[in-house]
Amino acid sequence: MVFTPYLHFSGNCRAALDRYQEIFGGELVVLTFGDLPADAGPPPPGVPAETVMHAALTNGDQLLMGSDDPGGESHGPAEHHHVSWNAPDMGEAKRVFDALADGGEVQQPLTETFFSPGFGMCVDRFGTPWMIVVDSPTG
């Protein structure tokens, strides 16, 4: 069973997913309300055409999705939730953690723990909370 994070943003979904693509690689597909076909009906009133209706970042079997909240009610991902990403080694974990923390806030520095060679938590500049976990060498 695979669970896929779907993040909501307050108008900066494209910037966030562009940044995640820089960090994780992969292919990014972004659909805006301006991309709606004519037969789909008009976008919600007052929603700018560049507002992201749906975005998907895929890299192998990994998928991260998101959109802007056209009502403007979203203030980033919900509190008490994190996107967790497993790194194959400490070097890759540090690269990703540092990139996500850049312009954001470190909640727990990336360090060895009893359950992992490396674990850290941060909130990125877009308000997305992240947990980075290094895969245990023993499985």
Give the pTM.
0.83
pLDDT by residue, tens only, the chain of 139 residues: 577 899 989 899 999 999 999 999 999 999 999 998 888 888 888 889 999 999 999 999 999 999 998 766 655 555 557 899 999 999 999 999 999 999 999 999 999 998 999 999 999 999 999 999 998 765 4
The per-residue pLDDT for 69 is 84
Per the CB < 8 A criterion, the answer to whether 7 and 16 are in contact is: yes
CB 71 within 8 A of CB 53: no
Q: Which domains does the chain have, with CATH numbers?
A: 1-72 (3.10.180.10), 77-139 (3.30.720.110)
Give the position of tokens 């805006």: 32
Return the pLDDT at 99. Answer: 98
